[in-house]
Amino acid sequence: MLSACGFHLRGSDHGGAPLPPIAITGEAGGLQGELRARVRAASGMVVATPAEAQWVVRVVSERSERRVLSVGSTGKVEEYEIYYAADFTIEDTQGQVHVGPETLSQVRSYGFSESEVLGKDAEQEALVKDMRREAAWQIVQRLRSLPVTP
């Protein structure tokens, strides 16, 4: 009944035709790994070399940083904001760019307590991982919008 209304769990594949062979290159290792997993989840195949692929996703850079969002009356940090950004292009096998260069960016915030420093570090890592997963999913959606040649 829920699927009839268009509801899908966040990060799940929304169906559609399988993706053509995809090569993933570039510098950002964390995003590349997540992107490989998302392409496979979308019934796609990740190939080792761009010559074997129809589309080449080139991850140019990936970065995240933590900024102070709010400070309490005692001057101690109460809340942080995490900024995540990834730059990428999608090219064909001849090197012609079809998407990009494009930047995907996201921001999340979380409360901070000095008595729970280890737990907050783990929370920050989990937030970055979640933002990376979301960026990979958005790249897969862009791949779905490109034409597939036999």
- How confident is the model over 60-104, as pLDDT tens digits? 999 989 888 888 888 888 888 899 999 999 998 888 888 879 999
Strands 22-26 and 55-71: parallel
pLDDT number for residue 137 = 94
Provide the 3-class DSSP secondary structure of residue 14.
coil
Q: Which residues of the chain have pLDDT under 50?
A: 11
Task: State the maximum Cα–Cα separation within the chain, in Å, rounded to a whole number.
Answer: 64
- Please give the C-alpha separations between residue 37 and each of 29, 32, 45, 93, 150, in angstroms, as whole numbers: 13, 9, 10, 22, 23
Structural domain boundaries in the chain: 14-143
Amino acid (1-letter code) at residue 23: A
pLDDT of residue 111: 83
- HSE-CB for 67 with a 13 A CA cutoff: 8
pLDDT of amino acid 5: 64
What is the pLDDT at residue 10? 54
**DSSP annotation of 8:** -
Q: What is the second-level CATH architecture of the domain 14-143?
A: 2-Layer Sandwich (3.30)
Strand partners, 20: none
- Residue 148: its pLDDT value, please? 76
SS3 content of the chain, % helix, strand, coil (to 5): 35, 35, 30
Three-state SS string across 56-82, please? EEEEEEEEEEEEEEEECCCCCEEEEEE
What local confidence, expressed as pLDDT, does residue 15 receive? 56
